[in-house]
Amino acid sequence: MLPLLLVTVIAVRHRAVLAEGFSLLTTARWPWLLAAAGVTCLTWVAAAFTRQGAVVERLPRRRLLATQFAAGAANHMLPTGLGASAVNLRFMTVCGLSPARSSAALALYLLAESAGRVGLLAALLVTFPGALPFGSLLPEGALGPLLVAGGAVVAAAAGVLAAVRPVRRVVRAFLETALSEARSVHALPSRALALWGGALAFPALQATVLVLVGVAFGLAVPPAHMAVAYLAATVAVALVPTPGGLGSVETALVVALVAVGGAAATATAVVLVFRVVTVWVPLLPGALTLAALVRLKVI
């Protein structure tokens, strides 16, 4: 709840900008928004390819795609992607994979998705080195405490592994299973292509949605810079434990778009509509799909 509270405080302090951003919603060019909705649908296809690439067995295609759509709704019920992970774990178990192999496939998916997002961001920053001034994304003096907090988390995890033998055994067994699964998947070119191709396509498609919404509002930022802002913002909020990144993603995106040269009010309107297209419009049909899949025992 703490991130939501902080975002609420920020929203109250900048309520004038928010009000101005809401007033711009009627100025959007609808053909670009329809294109953004179409690209959003492709993100579920990319997620399905990545999920299939993480396992050797062929998963039922239609049910796999429907599960990714439903997982999007579940992702907004639990923090840090736990909802989508739970849905996909159950789906793979129903498809006949053991819990250990399902968990290994999930870990491989998360690793590929993270690597694809960070790799795409790095490639764009190399191509457009001046696209994003990172100093403007963090409050002054915040980098030191963040590094200290990150080091403390790593040290605590290492301490638990060193001190608790049962935890070491579980982690060792999981890593052995995960490495075995990764070798099996990469021995099949079709699976490796699906895994890494989908992992790159997913964030690229999401960034494209933001670019299309930005164009719909006439945001005075080059498309490549908008894509960099999106990738940087989502990487930055990946560790913030709010359901579906609620609040934290919106704040980070507005800050990033302003950092690359966008007007605050227009950036606010762009982010609001971007989240409506990618989160709130698919939420109800995704929840209904999730209920149907549970009822049909697909998950």
Residue 20 contacts residue 265 (beta carbons within 8 Å): yes
Measured CA angle at 108 (ends 119, 77), to 5 deg? 90
129 DSSP 8-state letter: T
**Domain of residue 203, residue span:** 2-295
Q: Which helix (H) or strand (E) holds 77?
A: none
pLDDT digits (tens, 9 = 90+) for 166-210: 777 777 777 888 888 899 999 999 999 999 999 999 999 999 999
> Is residue 15 over pLDDT 80?
no
Structural tokens at position 217: 């509002």
Helix (H, G, I), strand (E, B) or coil at 26: helix
> Is residue 104 over pLDDT 70?
yes
Residue 266 contacts residue 217 (beta carbons within 8 Å): yes
Q: How confident is the model at residue 235 (pLDDT cuts 50, 70, 90)?
A: confident
Q: How many CB atoms lie within 10 A of CB 44?
A: 22
Q: pLDDT at position 4, please?
A: 54
> Is residue 127 over pLDDT 70?
yes
The percent helix, strand, coil of the chain (3-state, each to 5) is: 80, 0, 20
> How many distinct structural domains can be found in the chain?
1
Distance CA 268, CA 270 (A): 5
Q: pLDDT at position 196, please?
A: 96
Q: pLDDT at position 117, please?
A: 92
> Is residue 241 over pLDDT 60?
no
Structural tokens at position 11: 């929203």
Helix axes 223-236, 99-127, angle to 10 degrees: 140
pLDDT digits (tens, 9 = 90+) for 261-286: 888 888 888 888 898 888 888 888 88
| Residue environment code for 186-225, b if the CB has 16+ CB neighbours within 10 A, otherwise e | eeeeebeebbbbbbbbbbbbbbbbbbbbbbbbebebeeeb
Checking phi first, is residue 139 left (phi over 0); if not, alpha (psi -120 to 50) or beta? beta
Distance CA 28, CA 45 (A): 27
- Letter for the amino acid at 147? L
